[in-house]
Amino acid sequence: MLYIKCPHCGMRPQIEFSYGGDASVKRPELNKDVSDQDWDDFVYNRKSLRGKHLELWQHISGCRQWIKVERDTSTHEISRTFKADEEVA
């Protein structure tokens, strides 16, 4: 079971969180024309990375904040976590 550092609450076990997918996906802006390809990429197409992956988790049984977690998909090592509005350098 992963041990995730919530930037708001501290170290918490995985069972308190729910997974939210790739954090690098940007939703196309509202009221703008979006090509089929771009929309497809936004809704369906995800890279299946081996290595560092920035992903979303929600601290669902805690502060209910969505956070960003930098996790290695092959080792499960978590290097950094960020608040929703924090810029990832």
Partner 1 sequence: MSQNFRIENVGLINKDKKLCFKFNGKKYFGYEGDTLASALLANGVHLVGRSFKYHRPRGFFGAGVDEPYAIVQLYRNNETEPNIKATEQELFEGLEAKSVNCWPSVNFDIGAINNFLKIFLPAGFYYKTFMWPKSFWYRIYEPFIRKAAGLGVASIKHDKERYEHKYEHCDLLIAGSGPSGLSSAYAAAKNGAKVILAEDKPRFGGSLLTSDVNIGNQSGKEWAEGIIAELKTMPNVVVKNRSQIFGYYDHNMLVMSEKVSDHLPATKKYHPNKRLWYIRAKEVLISSGSIERPIVFGNNDTPGVMLSSAAKEYLKVYGVLVGRNPLIFTNNDSGYETAIEFKKHGVDPIVLDSRKNPESEIINEAKNIGINIKNSYVVVAAQGYKKVKSADIASISDDKKQLGKIENIQCDCICVSGFWTPTIHLASQSGNKTKFKEEIDAFIPGQSKQNERTLGAANGVFSLEETLKTSFAAGSELSKKITENDNEVLIPNVVEKKSSKHDKFWCVPLPEGKNYKRFLDFQNDVSVSDVEIALKEGYRSIEHVKRYTTLGMATDQGKTSNLNGLQLVSEIENKVVPAVGHTTFRPPYTPVSIGAIVGREIGKHSKPTRKSPMHAWHEKNNAVFVDAGVWLRPRYYKRGNENLFEGSKREAKNVRTNVGVCDVTTLGKIDIKGPDAAELLNRVYTNAWLKLPVGKARYGVMLREDGIVMDDGTTTRISENHYHMTTTTAQAANVLSHLEYYLQLVWPELNANVVSTTEQWAGAAIAGPKSRDLLQKLFPNSNVSNEGLPFMGYMEDDLYGVKARIFRISFSGELAYEINVESDNGNFMWEKIMEVGEEFKIQPYGTEALSTLRIEMGHVAGSELDGRTIPYDNALESLVSKKKDFIGKRSLQRTAFIADDRQRIVGVVPLDKKTSIPEGSHLVKDANAPLPNPKLGHISASCWSVEYDNPFSLAILKDGKNMIGEKLFVMSPLKNKVIPVEIVSSHYVDPKGERVRS
Interface residues with partner 1 (CB under 8 A) are 1-3, 13, 18, 20, 27-28, 30-31, 34, 39, 42-44, 56, 58, 60, 64-66, 75-76, 78, 84-85
Residue 49 or 65: the one with the smaller Cβ distance to partner 1 is: 65
Residue 59 or 68: the one with the smaller Cβ distance to Zn ion is: 59
Tokens for 3, please give them: 């041990």
65 conformational bin, left if phi > 0, alpha if psi -120 to 50, beta if neither:
beta
C-alpha span between 52 and 46 (Å, rounded):
14
Provide the residue type at 35 as one letter: S
What's the min distance (Å) between Cβ of 63 and Zn ion?
3
Residue 56's binding partner, choosing from partner 1, Zn ion, none, with beta-carbon cut-off 5 to 8 A by kind?
partner 1
What's the min distance (Å) between Cβ of 48 and Zn ion?
28
Cβ neighbourhood burial of 71 (10 Å; 0-12, 13-18, 19+): buried
